[in-house]
Amino acid sequence: MSQHGPDIEDLAAELDRRLASADAALAGQYPGDRGVRQPVHTVYVPADRYDAGTVQTWGSSAREALAAHAGSAEELAAATGLPVDLARDVYPRVQAKLADEPIEDLRIDFEDGFGQRPDEQEDEAAVSAARALADSVRSGTAAPFHGIRFKSFEAPTRRRGLRTLDLFVGALAAADGLTDGFVVTLPKVTSVDQVGAMVLACERIEQAHGLPPGALHFEIQVETPQSILGADGTVLVARMIHASAGRCSSLHYGTYDYSASCGIAAAYQSMEHPAADHAKAVMQVAAAGTGVHLSDGSTNVLPVGGRDAVHAAWRLHTRLVRRSLERGFYQGWDLHPAQLPTRYLATYAFYREGLPTAAARLRAYTGGGDSGYLDEPATAAALAGFLVRGVECSAIEPGDLATLTGAEVSRIAELARRRAPA
């Protein structure tokens, strides 16, 4: 028997050659976190109800709802079931958020929220909404993320959807309102081919309006069973991500279309139905490592009517938002201004409550003490990502984070493989 092992350098070189294709595929298909901020929600507003002041109007309405139905932290705690001490911590933060940045991501809806209209009416609405969005971008009052949802690429609505997308992008670009925060939503996706068609549509629209290649990005709405499981038994949503040529920024779960398509009775359609959890678990695995963000759906139980009805809806919304966050879905949909208080309440409570332990564990990992945990690099990255997300949505102040962890936010962002928050 030989007294010496193989020549490691020669063996490694041979493995490099054998695994070159696999290495390239892994790097190309699973590049990791994009390192950019993810909004905590997307607000949907029907196109005919949108104008340049919509963000401010929603903020004002949200503040009025909060004042009318929970004028203090104690009242909000009683209404939502949040511990009083935690409510006292986050209440002023919610008030500040509703005043400064009430909407993080706004989608002007030309699909279900707009419905079927005469072509001339939708044409006019597309151009008008694009100009209004450009006005808000120039004035600095636009939501940091914004865009449109157009009609799907299903055969009956394909031409109308394309026309609206082209008219909107053209008018927005002409008004110098196209920013890095612009994204479009592709709804009711039923095939990988539709994603490839969307890539082609983006390329042609960019060329037609003199936009740089890659300027347009889109979200895929997962609201049909076909997007989860294809006729051949494969997970189509995973193939959709990789068919997007790097243009897919996120997957959004559509609660009610998906539930209805699965035959679930209306009374039981919910973000927490087992069918919803299955779809979202498949989405989560498909998106892992790709840099594509995930968004949960919405609840259609709105906080309207009398005080008891508002409080019941707030309690449900708070619980559902927290549930999504705990499951790694850091974004959801909001459909009414009065949902904004509990969106930020639940989100801020999640980060504020988790801050002391996450900061202590990260401090210990970087050599600053003992947290009682033995964390590995992947978990340290998750801890750092949690803290960076908290800073990005204004739940955590950068100075407090530096004090608790012993590291600057830029260093924490580096551990999270993210950019430092602005």
Tell me the per-residue pLDDT of 44-80, one tens digit each, with 9 for 90 and over.
999 999 999 999 999 999 999 999 999 999 999 999 9
104 alpha carbon, distance to own chain's centre: 10
User: In sequence order, what E strands does 152-295 have?
Assistant: 182-186, 218-222, 248-253, 293-295
Q: Residue 371: what pLDDT?
A: 67
Q: What is the pLDDT of residues 21-39, one digit of tens each?
A: 999 999 999 998 888 999 9
Q: Where are the domains of the chain?
A: 41-352, 355-415
CA proximity to 257, closest of 49, 111, 104, 158: 111
Alpha-carbon dihedral 261, 312, 352, 295, rounded to 10 degrees = 10
Contact (Cβ atoms closer than 8 angstroms) between residue 293 and residue 250: yes
How does residue 388 score in pLDDT terms, banded at 50, 70 and 90? very high
Helix residue ranges per DSSP H, 37-118: 54-69, 73-80, 84-100
Average the pLDDT over each of 27-41, 212-226, 333-347 and give the range with the smallest value: 27-41
Q: What is the pLDDT of residues 136-159, one digit of tens each?
A: 999 999 999 999 999 999 999 999
**Radius of gyration over alpha carbons of the chain, in Å?**
23
Query: Looking at the predicted structure, is the pLDDT value of residue 401 above 80?
Result: yes
Give the DSSP letter of residue 104. S
Q: What is the pLDDT of residues 166-187, one digit of tens each?
A: 999 999 999 999 999 999 999 9
Percent of the chain past pLDDT 70, that is, above it, reads 97
3-state SS of 344-385 is HHHHHHHHHHHHHHHHHHHHHHCCCCCCCCCCCHHHHHHHHH
Work out the end-to-end distance of the chain between its first and last CA atoms, rounded to an integer number of angstroms.
Answer: 62
- Secondary structure (3-state) at 291: coil
Q: Residue 422: what pLDDT?
A: 65
Q: Residue 372: what pLDDT?
A: 72
- The mean pLDDT of 86-110, rounded to a whole number, is 97
Residue with tokens 């419905």: 115
| Structure-token pair, residue 117 | 């209209």
Which position has the higher pLDDT, 327 or 406?
327
CA proximity to 51, closest of 112, 128, 153: 128
Q: Which CATH superfamily is domain 41-352 in?
A: Phosphoenolpyruvate-binding domains (3.20.20.60)
Q: Residue 368: what pLDDT?
A: 65
Q: What is the pTM of this model?
A: 0.93
Average the pLDDT over each of 85-89, 249-253, 375-379, 402-406 and give the range with the smallest value: 375-379
Percent of the chain past pLDDT 90, that is, above it, reads 87
CA proximity to 352, closest of 305, 315, 311, 404: 404
User: In sequence order, what E strands does 235-282 have?
Assistant: 248-253
